[in-house]
Structures are given as structure tokens and as C-alpha cells.
Amino acid sequence: MFVFFNPNPERKLVGDCVVRGICKLLGADWETAYIHLLVQGYKMHDMPSSNEVWGEFLRSKGFKKDILPETCPQCYTLLDFCSDHKVGQYLVATGSHVVAVIDGDYYDTWDSGNEIPIYFWRKEE
């Protein structure tokens, strides 16, 4: 189920999906999540929104990356992912977007349920 979530202090709706997703998963405010990604990007000499940077940050927080199988790459949506993952914490990546999923609900500034997930990070127990 879609849940509106926008921790951006200026209520901006685009360009910070990674920060928003990490806020939700870690229970952090927007500024804290952004600073963590900036520091990680600085260490890696890359931009904070780069897949490698936020991936390494999630890895340091106990998340593990998984790739979705390509059995039906255009018919498996974020809604399907949520239906298949009713328990757990995930950061799901599409080709151009990132969404936090917690216990089958997805948190975003817009209803991205029809987006096609490619891979995801899941919190290890």
C-alpha cells in the first residue's frame, strides 16, 4: 500500500528519493541522512546520490543487496514486490527511482507502485 512520506524540510518532491528512503528505513531526519550520504560520497570520491555510494552506506548499516530475476521484467511492479515482501525493510531501486518498503507498504512522495524494480537492499536480521 502506498503511504505518502516526505521528510524534506522544504517539501521538495524530486531529486532526493535516496535521502527520503534512507530517512524512512533508519528513522533519521532528512538532514542527518543527507549528511551521512555526503560523508560516504566524500570517502569514495563520488556523488552522494550515486548507486555505489548509497549502496555502500546501506551495507555499512547491515543491508544486503539482491537482484530481482528477469522472468518478466516489464510485468513485475513495485506493487508486486510489496505483495511478495510483507515483512522486512527494503530500499527498492528502479531504473531512475528509489523507494523505501517496510512490511509491504511503500513510502514515497507519489504513488510509484507501477514502477519496475530492478534490485533492492534488505535489512539483515
Count other C-beta atoms under 10 Å from residue 120's C-beta. Answer: 22
Supply the pLDDT for residue 60. 96
- Taking 50 as the pLDDT cut, the residues of the chain under it are none
Supply the pLDDT for residue 125. 72
Supply the pLDDT for residue 71. 78
Computed from CA positions of residues 63, 76, 94, 73, in that sequence, does the dihedral angle turn out positive or negative? positive
Supply the pLDDT for residue 70. 80
Q: What is the pTM of this model?
A: 0.93
